[in-house]
Amino acid sequence: MAANKQLLIGLSLSATWMKGDGWRRADSGIEKMNSIDYYIDLAKMAEKSKLDFLFKADYLYVSPQMIGDSANYGSPDPTMMFAAIAHETERIGLVTTISTTFNPPYVVARQLQSLHWLSNGRAGWNIVTSIEGAENFGDSPMPSPQERYAKAGEFTDVVRKLWDSFPSEAIVIDRESGVFSDKDKVTAIHHNGDFFSVKGPLTLPSHESGSIPLFQAGASDIGRNFASSVADAIFAAMPDIESGVELRNDLRRRATEHGRDPNTIKVLPGLYFFLADSREEAHELHKAAHAHLSMERRHASLKSVLGLDLSGLPLDSCVTAAMLPNPNQPVRSRTHAELLRRFITKYQPTVEEVLARPEVVGSAHWVSVGTVEDVLNDIIERFEGGAIDGFIALPGGSEKSMNIFFEKLMPELVERGLFKSEYMGFTLRDHLGIS
Ligand SMILES: Cc1cc2nc3c(=O)[nH]c(=O)nc-3n(C[C@H](O)[C@H](O)[C@H](O)COP(=O)(O)O)c2cc1C
């Protein structure tokens, strides 16, 4: 069993019909896709179920292969969406995604601290180094993963120093003497590093509830090292339980090496759920959401994830480790490539099985399809197996699937003592158990 007795649960702020072909369903609300009201309703449902936080991934480029038949090619800026949602909710955490590759740290420190104020201490930052998008920020090609992570390390350091540069204790508000803030407590940071030069201080004080929790996504060797040195939680791609146990043990070990208590880093994989009253109905939902993924598209995805071309082979032939390309060849995401390499090496699957893997048909996330009981058992298996500290629910299927999640699955988790029935605190730090 994982070190925590109860699961931490977040919800990705996206509609069920944003996954794959789901938008084509007659009952999809696709016309509402950029209406904040839809997301506010979703946020309220999540808060009613006492979920720990809302989460939103973000990309600074438009995926060309998604333009045309997909609704999921981009989205409004999540930090701005969370600013609106902050006003309509009271307790639920708000974890926004901001890339360290393309933004200036001063602006990011300020945006995040602003969200922290607007939400009364509920902001969280999902740190990403991004896979694509360099062309939107100049003529240079995408920096190497090493450079991106080196920059992410310095970026995060600058952001934290800026948050500390204007501590909440500096605010005095003494009407009598006319002292508003203690200027000796507000200090420049004079940062001069390999990537950034920032004097500081920040334009606003830090929120009195404490510093903003950090999430991280990206699990290559350097990604893990970075996450285990700074992150409170990792948003993980975890297609199966084995990869989860390996990741969680490894992150905990690395955190210890960094002098941290291993329980302070939470492993929270994305969990795509397709829920229905019967197993058949749920599998139908899942199948329909992936109907656009022709064999050609799957082969193209496999080539892009792993650099492996299986298009000439029959579906029932075996794929072995010997067929894998050189591990040093550049790939879009080493996290995704490594997950698939390990699966192929261990199981020698058929071509058909490889083409059905989450790394190929989606973003390598755990997919659970079935009745409440089925998905519940899946969650319990991973929790008891030591693969997870909780999960970030990624809605898939139909609106009914989402309703089943809130009305049946969540209460069942509470009933079994695996999730809280009431909020114990007010801030995201409280929900994550950060002292
Ligand atoms: C589960 C997961 C979610 C990610 N989400 C985002 C995202 O929302 N936006 C983004 O720009 N990059 C995202 N990334 C990309 C990572 O930030 C990182 O750039 C990429 O995985 C390469 O790092 P790696 O070599 O450690 O895999 C994500 C990666 C993973 C594994």
Give me the CATH number covering residue 410. Answer: 3.20.20.30
Q: In which domain, by residue range, is 160 found?
A: 8-432
For strand 171-174 and strand 179-181, is the pairing parallel, antiparallel, or unpaired? antiparallel
Closest CA to 287 of 216, 367, 366, 220: 367
Q: Look at ligand 1, atom 23, and give the residue with the nearest C-alpha.
A: 218
119 belongs to a structural domain: yes
Model pLDDT for residues 384-414, shown as the tens digit of each residue:
999 999 999 999 888 899 999 999 999 999 9
State how many domains the chain has.
1
pLDDT at 251 over 70: yes
The b/e string for 307-329 (b: 16+ C-beta within 10 A; e otherwise) is bbebeeeeeeeebeeeebeeeee
**Taking the alpha carbons of 306, 140, 225, 122 in that order, is the dihedral positive or negative?**
negative
* pLDDT score at 208: 96
Which residue intervals of 145-278 are DSSP H helices? 145-165, 221-230, 241-257
299 belongs to a structural domain: yes
pLDDT at 4 over 70: no
Confidence of residue 65 (pLDDT cuts 50, 70, 90): confident
Lining ligand 1 with CB less than 6 A are 57-59, 97, 99, 128-131, 145, 217-220, 223, 235-237, 333-335
pLDDT at 2 over 60: no
Q: pTM for the whole thing?
A: 0.94
pLDDT at 151 over 50: yes
Return the ligand 1 atom nearest residue 236 CA. Answer: 1
Confidence of residue 318 (pLDDT cuts 50, 70, 90): very high
1 belongs to a structural domain: no
* pLDDT score at 1: 47
Q: Which amino acid is at 241?
A: I
67 belongs to a structural domain: yes
- Measured CA to CA, the distance from residue 259 to residue 270 in angstroms comes to 27
Confidence of residue 14 (pLDDT cuts 50, 70, 90): confident
287 belongs to a structural domain: yes
The residue-averaged pLDDT of 340-361 equals: 94
Mean model confidence pLDDT for the chain:
94
Return the ligand 1 atom nearest residue 216 CA. Answer: 17
2 belongs to a structural domain: no
3 belongs to a structural domain: no
Residue from 129, 214, 222, 329 to probe ligand 1 pocket by mutation (most atoms less than 8 Å from CB): 129
Q: Look at ligand 1, atom 11, and give the residue with the nearest C-alpha.
A: 130
- Measured CA to CA, the distance from residue 126 to residue 98 in angstroms comes to 6
Going from the Cα of 117 to the center of ligand 1, the distance in angstroms, rounded, reads 27
Going from the Cα of 74 to the center of ligand 1, the distance in angstroms, rounded, reads 15
Going from the Cα of 131 to the center of ligand 1, the distance in angstroms, rounded, reads 6
121 belongs to a structural domain: yes
* pLDDT score at 433: 96
Return the ligand 1 atom nearest residue 237 CA. Answer: 1
Going from the Cα of 237 to the center of ligand 1, the distance in angstroms, rounded, reads 9
Closest CA to 14 of 61, 86, 69, 73: 73
